Amino acid sequence: MTKARIPVIPTIIVALAVLVMIGLGIWQLQRRGEKAQAIALAASNPAKAAVAFPRLPPVTSDLLFRPSSLHCLRVAGWQVEAGRAADGTTGYRHIAQCVTGAEGPGALVAIGVTQRPDAKPDWTGGQIAGWISEEPDHRALISRIGGKALPLRPMLIARTAPSGLKASAPPSAEDVPNNHLAYAVQWFLFAGVAVIIYILALRRRAAPKSP
C-alpha cells in the first residue's frame, strides 16, 4: 500500500497564500508603530497655528486636528452620523456637504450636534472655522486590514454651531483608533486557519475509501 502523494501545485498555492498573509500581518505590526507616532503628533496639533484647509485626501498627521477655516458657498446636502457635543452629551452629528468653488471636490463640515437625526440645521454656508479632521470611516474591514482602502476625505469640525445645534466636541487623539495590532492578529489567524484547513483536506484525501 503506497502513501498518497501530496499535490504539488495546490500546496505551492496554499504556501504562497500563507506567506502573503504572514507578510501582511508583519506589515500591520510595522504600521502600528507608525500610527502611534502619528497619534502623538496629532495630539499636539490643536494648539498650533491655523493652516489652509486641505482640498484632497489623505489628511496627513501634521495636519490632523490643526485649526483651519473654509468658505462654504452653499450646502449641497447633509449626512447624519452619531456624534458627541462639546458639553459631553451624545446625539447626531450633522455634516454639511459644501460647495467651495465652481470645480473641485468641495468640503465636509461637521456643523453641530442635535438630539434628532431628522433635524434641519439652519445653516446655508459662509465662512466657518474649526479643526481639520476626517470624514466618518465606513470602509469595509477587509479593505482596511489589507491596506487597500481609499483615504478618508478631510472634514472640518466647526468650532461653533448655528442656532438649534450644539457645538461638536473638539477633536481628540483618543478618537483616533490604532487597530493595527488587531489587524495583524487577524492576518496571522487567517494564515493559521488556511494551514489547518489544507492539512485536513490532505488527510481526507489520503484516507482509505470505504468499499
For the chain (length 211 residues), average pLDDT per consecutive 10?
Answer: 72 94 91 81 88 93 94 96 94 96 88 94 95 90 73 95 93 78 91 94 78 56
Predicted local confidence at residue 195, as pLDDT: 95
d(CA 42, CA 83): 20
Interatomic CA distance for residues 181 and 191, integer angstroms: 15
* Pair type for strands 74-84 and 90-99: antiparallel
**DSSP states of 136-150:** -----HHHHHTT-SP
pLDDT value at residue 198 = 93
Distance of CA 46 to the CA centre of its chain: 20
> What pLDDT is attached to residue 78?
96
Predicted confidence at residue 6, as pLDDT, reads 82
State the pTM of this model. 0.71
d(CA 114, CA 139): 25
The whole-number pLDDT of residue 192 equals 95
